[in-house]
Amino acid sequence: MAKNKKVKVLSVYNIKGGVGKTAAAVNLSYLAAQAGWRTLLCDFDPQGASSYYLRIKPEDKMKPKKLLKGGSFAHKQIKESDYPNLELLPAHLDYRHFDLLLDKQKKSKSRLRAFFDGFAEDYDLIVIDAPPNITLLSENIFRASDLVLIPVIPTTLSLLTYAQIRAFFDQEDLPARRARAFFSMVEKRKSLHRETVEKYLQEDPHFFAVQIPMASVVEKMGPNRAPVPSYAASSPAARAYGELWRETAAVLER
């Protein structure tokens, strides 16, 4: 049974916003659930875009401190999505207090893993839509994750932030292999995009082969409030997310 297998934690992260992070988190969660993984998507980004895409509103009485303790309060915050095997821990503005909370606790850098292990019986996979900044919470997320996925737009600025994340992993003695990247919002017609992608795929072994295209079906996640493969299964973007999930699953199952 899945019980004796440790729950896998996948986080999708970038310091920079607007790189297709939430779209990746939601679509990957949906695809994992479709593949039979009992999946919990944790929307830790206070903007709450993941929750919005799944049409889920948070409970009014959120108490971050109580949540962090795990147990029945944490479990009661979880909401079932419209899709089989996919549940959500909705976003809440109060998550911005997580940092203060974590700071006061023992083992403040690795407290979060214990929190996730509390869900081991109910889920095979926890996906974190991580907040876009470097804080104690993000460091906790890195330490708690089996895999940190970084969406990168093939532009100079975006690659600069990618280098910053790599440097942070190095500085904090986090295993380099734990962070993997993939190209996001790729526009094939732009030569800069094409050249950058080509260069990095050759030189940086941490990049997945898949490229998520810049596409209007992805933007439609907003008005549709649904994962891309649920309404445009055969679109190139949905297929790219499918490939992204296969590469991700291969790493998680190793």
Partner 1 sequence: MKLHDTYLLPDHTVGQNLIQELGRLYPLEKVSQAQKRQTAFDSFDWRLFQGGYFLLGDDARHFELRTTGTDEARQQARLPGKGEPQFWWDFPEGRLQAQLKKLLDVRALLPITQTQQSLETHNALNEDHKTVLRLNLEEVTLVDNGKPVRSLRHALQVVTLRGYESEAGKLRDILDRLGVFPESRPRHFVMAALEAAGKRPFDYSSKIDITLNPLQSTREAARIIHRHSLEVMRRNEAGILADIDSEFLHDYRVAMRRTRSALSLIRGVFPKAQTERFKKEFSQLGRLTNPVRDLDVYLLERERYRAQLPENLRPGLDSFFQDLREKRVAAYQNFVKGLNSSHYKKFIKRWESFLDKDESPPTPAATRPVIETARRTIAKRFERIYREGLAINDLSPDERLHELRVDFKKIRYLLEFFRSLFPARDVAFLVKRLRQLQNVLGNLNDLHVQQLTLNQHLSELSPQRPDAIPLAASLGVLIANLQKEKETVRTQFAASFAELCEAKFVQKLETLFGSKATSPLKPINPEKN
The piece of 33-41, 147-155, 198-206, 228-236 that touches partner 1 (CB under 8 A) is 33-41
In angstroms, rounded to a whole number, what is the distance separating the alpha carbons of residues 69 and 144?
A: 15
Q: Which residues of 135-160 are buried (b: 16+ CB within 10 A; e: fewer)?
A: ebbbbbbbbbbbbbbbbbbbeeebbe
Nearest residue (CB) to partner 1, 33 versus 214: 33
Q: Is position 122 an interface residue for partner 1 (rule: CB under 8 A)?
A: yes
Q: Considering the complex, what minimum distance in angstroms separates the CB of residue 51 from partner 1?
A: 10
For partner 1, give the closer residue by CB, 148 or 249: 249
Q: How many residues bind partner 1 (CB under 8 A)?
A: 19
Q: Which of 30, 37, 53, 123 binds partner 1 (CB under 8 A)?
A: 37
Could you tell me the smallest distance in angstroms from the CB atom of residue 66 to partner 1? Answer: 16
Helices 236-252 and 21-34, packing angle to 10 deg: 70
Q: Which is nearer to partner 1, 80 or 172 (CB)?
A: 80
Residues in 219-238 at the binding interface with partner 1, rule: CB under 8 A:
225
Nearest CA among 97, 77, 95, 82 for reference residue 26: 82
Smallest distance, partner 1 to C-beta of residue 219, A: 19
1 binds partner 1 (CB under 8 A): yes
220 contacts 213 by C-beta, under 8 angstroms = no
Backbone angles phi, psi at 61, to 5 degrees: -95, 75
Q: Does 80 bind partner 1 (CB under 8 A)?
A: yes
For residue 163, state whether it binds partner 1 (rule: CB under 8 A).
no
Q: Yes or no: say if 101 and 72 are a contact pair by the CB < 8 Å rule.
A: no
Phi first, then psi: give them for residue 101, nearest 5 degrees: -65, -50
Under a CB-based contact definition with an 8 Å cutoff, are residues 181 and 150 in contact? yes
Q: Quick one: which of 78, 18, 74 has its CA closest to 47?
A: 18
Judged by CB under 8 A, the stretch of 13-21, 80-88, 147-155, 233-241 that binds partner 1 is 80-88
Q: Residues 48-77: x/- map of binding to partner 1 (CB under 8 A)?
A: ------xxxx------------------xx
Distance CA 40, CA 128 (A): 8
> Where would I find the beta strands (DSSP E) of 28-176?
39-43, 79-80, 86-89, 125-129, 147-152
Binding residue (CB under 8 A) for partner 1 from 18, 36, 71, 222: 36
To partner 1, the closest distance from the beta carbon of 178 in angstroms equals 23
Residue closer to partner 1 (CB basis): 82 or 204: 82
Using CB under 8 A as the criterion, which residues of the chain lie in contact with partner 1 when the complex forms? 1-2, 35-37, 54-57, 76-80, 82, 87, 122, 124, 225
